[in-house]
Structures are given as structure tokens and as C-alpha cells.
């Protein structure tokens, strides 16, 4: 094998090793999963307590209008 091919193989191995060992992008993925889970829970709560939430907001709006 030529020196160029050996260098290329070594370079590819180094890049693959660094890619496998690098954990800097892992934080972003964890935060994205956490945010997605929070969104699903929030949506489930809104769907479950829809009428109660609408009533609470309407009461708050009425109280603000009365205070004005």
C-alpha cells in the first residue's frame, strides 16, 4: 500500500474514534427529548382539563374587566 492510502486509513480511523467518543452533541439530544416529553405531558393535561382551563381563564378575564 502506498503512504497516501495508509494516511487516509489512519485519518478515517481517527475521525471515527473521535466521533464515537465525542459527547458534546449529546446534551442537545437530551434537552430535545426532555422538551418533547414536557410538551406531550402539557398537551395531555390541556386535553384532559380543557373545560376547567377555559372556565379559569374566563373567570380571570371577567375579574380583570370588572377591575378596570
pTM of the full structure: 0.51
Residue at 14 is within a domain: no
What's the rounded Cα separation, in Å, for the pair 64 and 46? 23
* Predicted pLDDT at 1: 58
Whether the CB-CB separation of 7 and 14 falls below 8 Å is answered with no
CA 15 to each of CA 4, 7, 25, 57: distance values in angstroms, whole numbers, following the listed order: 16, 12, 15, 55
Q: pLDDT category, 16, cuts 50, 70, 90?
A: confident
Q: What is the mean pLDDT of residues 53-68?
A: 93
Q: Structurally, how many domains does the chain consist of? A: 1
Residue at 32 is within a domain: yes
What's the rounded Cα separation, in Å, for the pair 41 and 36? 9
List pLDDT tens digits, range 25-35.
677 788 889 99
Q: What is the mean pLDDT of residues 50-55?
A: 94
Range of the domain at 67: 23-68
Q: What is the mean pLDDT of residues 37-65?
A: 95
Amino acid at each position: 500500500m502506498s503512504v497516501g492510502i495508509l494516511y487516509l486509513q489512519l485519518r478515517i480511523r481517527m475521525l471515527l474514534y473521535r466521533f464515537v467518543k465525542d459527547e458534546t452533541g449529546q446534551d442537545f439530544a437530551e434537552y430535545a427529548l426532555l422538551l418533547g416529553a414536557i410538551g406531550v405531558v402539557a398537551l395531555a393535561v390541556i386535553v384532559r382539563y380543557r373545560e376547567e382551563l377555559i372556565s379559569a381563564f374566563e373567570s380571570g378575564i371577567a375579574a380583570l374587566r370588572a377591575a378596570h
